[in-house]
Amino acid sequence: MNKLPFIKGGGLEGEYVFSNFHFHWGSDDSKGSEHTFDGDRYAAEIHLVHFKKDYGTLANALKHKDGLVVLGVMVEADDSDNESLQSVVDALEEVVELGMEFHPDYSIPLDALLPEEEDRHTFFRYQGSLTTPTCNEVVTWILFQTPISLSSSQLAQFRTLIGQDGLHHLQDNFRPIQPLNGREVVFVDTGNY
């Protein structure tokens, strides 16, 4: 059995096993991220979802306050294609409508979804919730300060997907900015660990 990727360190207590990744995007390149930096939105945001190894499964982890860690990566629009993620963009043509499945015969390195290695040691962290229903308050958010990029034409491919109603394109699938409600956002520099 292959060992699943995991994260640890950087102030986390224990190991968190990779479960899945997904994207949020807008109807144009001016919006799409669920988080902002200094009030600025990005064209998209990638979430890499991890569950605490001690809880065994994602479903079990949802029952615990420290159950999940989600790495948030902002995506800015650029003129040039991101070749590392072209296979993800190409796969969108295979799953345009709800219920369609595609099982690629290749793997995507998770590193391709993250900022360059030298930009991974600084990030923001806070305790929060999932951004989709059931919005469980069980997430440690880690938001990288440095974005990655996709071209405007690559981002446009996400907007070709059809929503659950089967009629309209899936766009603006991001949660509105929420109040902090007393949450503390901490800046972390693991270069000092």
Number of domains in the chain: 1
DSSP-derived 3-state class of residue 191: helix
Task: Give buried/exposed letters for 44-54 (b at 16+ CB in 10 A, else e).
Answer: bbbbbbbbbee
Q: What is the pLDDT of residue 11?
A: 87
Asked whether residue 148 is assigned to any structural domain, the reply reads: yes
Of the pLDDT bands very low, low, confident and very high (cuts 50, 70, 90), residue 1 is very low
Q: What is the pLDDT of residue 10?
A: 84
Asked whether residue 12 is assigned to any structural domain, the reply reads: no
Q: How high is the mean pLDDT of the chain?
A: 93
Of the pLDDT bands very low, low, confident and very high (cuts 50, 70, 90), residue 98 is confident
Task: Name the residue range of residue 70's domain.
Answer: 19-175+183-192
Q: What is the pLDDT of residue 61?
A: 98
The pTM for the full model equals 0.94
Residues in the chain: 193
Q: What is the pLDDT of residue 192?
A: 59
Q: What is the pLDDT of residue 108?
A: 85
Asked whether residue 10 is assigned to any structural domain, the reply reads: no
Asked whether residue 2 is assigned to any structural domain, the reply reads: no
